[in-house]
Structure 1
Amino acid sequence: MQDVLTRLAALRRPTLLMQAARIGAPEYRRDRRLRRYFGIGPLPGPAEALVRLIEIESWQDEGRRAGDAGYSPARHVDTMIAVLGEAALLMETRAPVRAPALDRS
């Protein structure tokens, strides 16, 4: 399976959609926002949540492209805010790769 962050980087979405999501991302509150998508119960970790959110967003984007009457730009922005928020959390939790220390004896 393709790395979720690589998959996210490959997404191409309208500039206005991404600008709106970036504006909303600093206000992202995981517990409130993810309940809208995953309901009551324990929330998934950032990686699993991101995979599931990207899938939801993909369905929304298909509706946007098809001109579906049920497509909601506000809902799409809301989903992209969650995607950006979970991606940021995932990147924070990943340990940085460090070169091994050299013995300078």
Structure 2
Amino acid sequence: MSYMPNVIAFRPRPAAQPLRRPRLLIRAAREGQAGWRRDRDLRRLLRTDHCPTPGAALPRLRAEEAALNEARLQRAADYDMHRHVLVMIAILAEMRAAVADAPAPVTAGTRIGAAMLAQMSAALNVPGTAIPARP
């Protein structure tokens, strides 16, 4: 008998289009990773009371970064370079947190034997669910 979980967990996939930004902006974002504190900085950046789960804020951060990049390319007067670097730091940190938080994929050959099921039911202390080794 094989064990099939009812929840399939997928690792976050990269965006269809990779971020192509100036080297200095990416370098500043990488250097800013050392001082990044997710609970403190992400709440402040998103202007929320609580921190979302890792990876949940990525679409919002990418949309804001796209708007900031468009303002940068148009040389808009209201372009905020400091906020752009902060958003890039948050994107890099959230991508790293989402990958670290995602469960490992289950391979097709993963099987749980009868002995392991018996141990699990005994550990849960559920009466009548023990599976005999061999009938």
TM over 0.5: yes
Counterparts in 2 of 1:72 and 1:39: CA distance versus 1, 3 Å? closer
Q: What CA distance in whole angstroms lies between the structure 1 residues aligned with 2:17 and 2:33? A: 16
Question: Offset of 1:38 from its aligned partner?
Answer: 2.5
What corresponds to 2:81 in structure 1? Answer: 73
- SS across alignment from 1:91: helix
- SS across alignment from 2:55: helix
Question: Offset of 1:80 from its aligned partner?
Answer: 0.5
Q: What one-letter code is carried by the residue in structure 2 that aligns with 1:58? A: A
Q: How does 1:1-80 map to 2 (within 5 A)?
A: 5-7=13-15, 10-80=18-88
Q: What CA distance in whole angstroms lies between the structure 2 residues aligned with 1:40 and 1:95? A: 27
Count residues with an aligned counterpart.
100
- Which runs of 5 or more structure 2 residues have no equivalent in the other structure? 1-10, 112-135
- SS across alignment from 2:56: helix
Is 2:104 aligned against 1:96?
yes
Q: State which drifts further: 30-39 or 74-83.
A: 30-39
- SS across alignment from 1:6: coil
Deviation per residue, 1:6-63 (Å, 9 max, x gap): 1187111111100000011122111121122332422221222111111111110010
- Which runs of 5 or more structure 1 residues have no equivalent in the other structure? none
Q: What CA distance in whole angstroms lies between the structure 2 residues aligned with 1:4 and 1:69? A: 35
Task: State the TM-score, normalized to the length of structure 2.
Answer: 0.65
More helix by share: 1
Counterparts in 2 of 1:36 and 1:80: CA distance versus 1, 3 Å? same
RMSD: 2.2
Q: What CA distance in whole angstroms lies between the structure 1 residues aligned with 2:106 and 2:12? A: 22
